[in-house]
Structures are given as C-alpha cells and as structure tokens.
Amino acid sequence: MQLSKYKADELINKTRGKIFSCSFIKKDGTIRNIVARLGVHKNLKGGKNGENKTNSLITVFDMLNGGYRMINLETLINLKVRGVYYQIV
C-alpha cells in the first residue's frame, strides 16, 4: 500500500506507544531499519531534543538498540504499523 510522507507522520503519531518498524536513509547515505515506538521516557537525561526546524524529524525509541533515534520523514522508505506494510511515495 502506498502512503505519502504527511500521512506517514499521522500514522506514526497515531500508534500511541505501540511498536512499529520503518526504513529510512541516514545522513551518511546508508539505510537504517528500525523497530521503534513513541512515548518512551526511560533513560532521559533532561537534555534538549535535537533541533527540528523543518518539522520532518520524529524522535523515537529504538527497541533493538535501546536508544533514542531521529526518523527523518523526508528520507522515509517504508513503514509497517499493526502488520500493514506501507511504501512511502
């Protein structure tokens, strides 16, 4: 199923802490596959979140590596939420 970047942002935010997976292109050009979730507050140090000037970055918790990651919606390739696979166009 195909999905736009705007709808992908809405779909990720509607997960409300449920686990999802996605693939995106990192700044160095490599592809990252991530299993993540929103709303995790464990291990926070009280620092500031990274700057989000374009409103296309989402901070998520990486379930496999146990750290926080930023997903860039501009480079999002695919998304899997509740067993449904979406191709981003």
Res. 89: pLDDT tops 90: no
- Interval 36-48 mean pLDDT: 80
* 39-75 exposure pattern, b = at least 16 Cβ within 10 A, e = fewer: ebeeeeeeeeeeeeeeeeebebbbeeeeeeeebbbeb
Greater confidence, 54 or 29? 29
Q: What is the pTM of this model?
A: 0.83
Quick one: DSSP state of residue 38?
A: S
Structural domains of the chain, with CATH? 2-41+56-88 (2.30.30)
pLDDT at 52: 62
Pairing of strands 84-88, 2-3: parallel
- Interval 55-72 mean pLDDT: 89
Res. 27: pLDDT tops 80: yes
Q: Coil, strand, or helix at residue 73?
A: helix
